[in-house]
């Protein structure tokens, strides 16, 4: 599946402007043959907007979800987008996957919140593995800091995830996560990882870009720089099958030895 990574911070604080940015990117991605578009973490509203996160948060079936479903249908591609999710009095840092026909397929709430800023504004989720089916691939969802815990990605590998989508807000000086850690996660778990970052200055953060689609061989199939960019690459089920047959990591596990880890 050709996958498009939208490396952009959009227009922090303006849902309407970000819906327009997403629609334009979806048009470009579809014209390039993409079947899936992935945005960064909290793309719908912006990340460093403080109390604005709670003010702009919407339920998973809110007005913005309807608008993105219309975008997906209009351009004929699936969309995974980051947003603050309202659930009663709680706000979650979430990502929702919408199919090319506008159907809401999956919604994931970030389980590992990073730093005081996130803990002040969000309630952590409690479902470690959320998946959905797209043509030819089982797709899983994580958000940013989640991928830095090897247990999370291994849980997806054991559950059969083929392509792991990771909307991200990765700031300086942690670019090594995108550059080194994410390709290793893809290799050691034998899956594709689409890690899609914000970029530029926002509030007190400086987001480093470097979005990547890493393959099960640890090779970056697409790599963005440090500016706003739309990059595309293929998550190939045939290569994935061959790589899994050649790599013994998952088959050679000895779970009986790992009980002390938990």
* CB < 8 Å & 24+ apart, contacts of 47-52: 47/9, 47/12, 47/169, 47/198, 47/202, 47/203, 47/205, 47/207, 48/12, 48/117, 48/202, 48/203, 48/204, 48/205, 49/12, 49/13, 49/203, 50/121, 50/203, 52/13
Tell me which residue has tokens 């099958």: 241
Residue 3, CA atoms < 13 Å, CB-side half-sphere: 34
> Buried b vs exposed e over 113-124: b needs ≥16 C-beta within 10 Å?
bbeebbeebbbe
Quote the radius of gyration of the chain (alpha carbons, Å): 17
For 19, 39, 43, the CA distances from 15, given in Å and listed in that order, are 6, 14, 9
User: Which residues are catalytically annotated?
Assistant: 41, 110, 144
Number of H helices, E strands in the chain: 8, 14
Give the residues across from 81 on adjacent strands. Answer: 96
Q: How far apart are CA 223 and CA 210, in angstroms?
A: 6
């Amino acid at each position: 599946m050709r996958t498009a990574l939208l490396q952009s911070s959009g227009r922090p604080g303006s849902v309407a402007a970000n819906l327009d940015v997403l629609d334009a990117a979806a048009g470009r991605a579809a014209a390039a043959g993409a079947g899936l578009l992935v945005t960064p973490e909290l793309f719908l509203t912006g990340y460093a907007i403080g109390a604005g996160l709670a003010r702009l948060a919407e339920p998973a079936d809110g007005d913005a979800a309807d608008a993105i479903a219309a975008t997906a249908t209009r351009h004929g591609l699936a969309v995974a987008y980051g947003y603050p999710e309202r659930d009663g009095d709680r706000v979650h840092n979430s990502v929702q996957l919408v199919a090319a026909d506008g159907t809401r397929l999956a919604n994931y709430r970030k389980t590992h919140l990073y730093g005081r800023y996130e803990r002040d504004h969000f309630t952590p989720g409690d479902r470690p593995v959320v998946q959905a089916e797209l043509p030819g691939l089982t797709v899983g969802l994580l958000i940013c800091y989640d991928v830095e815990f090897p247990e999370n990605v291994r849980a997806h590998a054991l559950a059969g995830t083929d392509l792991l989508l990771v909307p991200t807000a990765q700031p300086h000086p942690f670019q090594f996560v995108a550059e080194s850690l994410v390709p290793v996660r893809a290799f050691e778990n034998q899956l594709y990882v689409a890690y899609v970052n914000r970029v530029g200055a926002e509030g007190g953060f400086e987001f480093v870009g470097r979005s990547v689609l890493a393959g099960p061989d640890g090779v970056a199939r697409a790599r963005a720089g440090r500016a706003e960019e739309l990059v595309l690459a293929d998550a190939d089920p045939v290569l994935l099958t061959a790589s899994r047959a050649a790599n013994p990591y998952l088959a050679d596990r000895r779970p009986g030895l790992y009980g002390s880890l938990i």
